[in-house]
Amino acid sequence: MRQAEPKIVVSGVRKSFQISGDAAAVTPALDGIDLTIADGEFVSLLGPSGCGKTTLLRIIAGLTAADDGTVEVNGTPVDGPGRDRAMVFQAFGLLPWRTVAQNVAFPLKIRKLSGTEIDERTDRYLRLVNLERFKDRYPHQLSGGMQQRVGLARALAVDPEVLLMDEPFGAIDAQQRELMQEELLRIWAATGKTIVLVTHDLDEAVYLSDRVVLLSPHPGRVRTVVDVGLPQPRWEYDARSHERFVEVRREIWSVLRKDVLDVVEREAAEIEDRTGERH
């Protein structure tokens, strides 16, 4: 793990949601999350469905408020979205009537940057994601992987200190997903951003991260934090065949497997209960 000052500090975060149709009932999503992420670190949040990964990411982004606890970025409490953070979602979220360049430039215009700076940033980040040749194309003319790169360029163009990514490669095929993972590592190396990634993919988490934070489900708690320790840069060798990759993957899966099985059993029991009530 990189030795650096804390960038994100999560302390005692709890969050519950009201159950639909029952004003008095709530379901806990997160329970006492403590986590410190260093400046320039790449951390993945991993765990089975229902462990609160996306909820935690949205709380860090300032899109969802915690019930208890605090989140600080650079020592400043998070009380809403901020310019120091940018979010990349699984859905591409591109404006179909705007060109690639116009999509990247859109948030810069909202921030009222000068035309010269908008053009410079747009060109810089399209080059970074290897899309400068397609700046005048429209989203429907691009592949899924290319559309996701436009979304990434748009997030980077606002120059956030923290990049928050929620299953960003979930909507693209397996081959493009591996290429995008490699591209993300190159971008991270070039920009030094702090990155927090939510993923269901164990291999993706190990390949990309400095550390993997494994959350337990119902409610989400930090079960374990694993230092990956794979040599960098990982795109220059077959990282997935490295003995450390295999070791870390085995270590995490030995814990994660039981949680996944518990979730499957819980879901099956809930279905049986509902079916029994109907009869």
Q: Are residues 245 and 177 in the same domain?
A: yes
* Mean predicted confidence (pLDDT) in 246-262: 91
Give 7-57 pLDDT, tens digit per residue. Answer: 999 999 999 998 766 666 788 999 999 999 999 999 999 999 889 999 999
- How many CA atoms lie within 13 Å of 165's alpha carbon, on the beta-carbon side? 32
Q: Are residues 173 and 246 in the same domain?
A: yes
**Total of domains in the chain:** 2
pLDDT over 80 at 263, yes or no? no
> Does 260 map to a domain?
no
Question: Residue 44 is which amino acid?
Answer: S
Q: Are residues 235 and 185 in the same domain?
A: yes
> Does 206 map to a domain?
yes
Give 97-154 pLDDT, tens digit per residue. Answer: 999 999 999 999 988 899 999 999 999 999 988 899 999 999 999 988 889 889 999 9
CB atoms near residue 279 (< 10 Å) = 4
> Does 242 map to a domain?
yes
On the question of a cis peptide bond just before residue 233, with omega within 30 degrees of 0, the verdict is yes
* Mean predicted confidence (pLDDT) in 204-211: 97
> Does 275 map to a domain?
no
Q: How far is CA 232 from CA 64, 92, 165, 207, in A?
A: 34, 29, 21, 10
Of the residues 118, 144, 159, which one is the last residue of a structural domain?
159
The mean pLDDT value of the chain amounts to 89
> Does 123 map to a domain?
yes
Q: CATH number of the domain that 242 lies in?
A: 3.40.50.300
Q: Are residues 169 and 208 in the same domain?
A: yes
Query: Residue 235: which domain range?
Result: 6-84+164-253
> Does 266 map to a domain?
no
pTM score of the predicted model: 0.88
Give dist(CA 13, CA 35) in Å, integer: 9
Q: Are residues 242 and 202 in the same domain?
A: yes
